[in-house]
Amino acid sequence: MVRVKRGFTARRRRKKIRKKAKGFRRTVRTQTARVKISTYKAGVHATRHRRQKKGVMRRLWIARINAAVRLAGMSYSKFISAVKKKKIALDRRALADLAANHPKDFAKIIEAVKS
């Protein structure tokens, strides 16, 4: 039976793991055991934070809408309830974009909601 040396295969496997740890600091980038742990943990954090990012963005949209609506002398909650009563089919993302980038159009929406 022929003896199989695993140098190339093992090195290729370790390189694949180390490639994921690019940008990590000190031995976390170079030592195979630590690379495995840190890349696994990085993946866990990435997955969790992809979910959390949705909530963070929603809070940002609410803050932007609130700031724009306050300038018109309304509160955020009254504005949102009025938007729903008037059946304006714009979500918070679209409203926040209008408030930040197109204030004249957003002012029209506020006037439509107030009347």
Q: What are the φ/ψ torsions at residue 2 (nearest 5 degrees)?
A: -85, 140
Encode pLDDT of 5-57 as tens digits. 888 999 999 999 999 999 989 988 889 999 999 999 999 999 999 999 999 99
- For position 1, what pLDDT does the model report? 80
If we measure between CA atoms, which residue out of 112, 60, 102 comes closest to residue 82?
Answer: 112
CATH fold of 7-114 reads c-terminal domain of poly(a) binding protein (1.10.1900)
Q: Could you state, in order of their start, the residue ranges of all structural domains in the chain?
A: 7-114
Q: How far apart are CA 82 and CA 98, in angstroms?
A: 17
Q: How far apart are CA 104 and CA 106, in angstroms?
A: 5
- For position 56, what pLDDT does the model report? 97
Assessment of whether the complete model's pTM goes beyond 0.85: no
If we measure between CA atoms, which residue out of 79, 81, 85 comes closest to residue 109?
Answer: 79
- For position 29, what pLDDT does the model report? 87
What length is written for the chain? 115
- For position 115, what pLDDT does the model report? 83
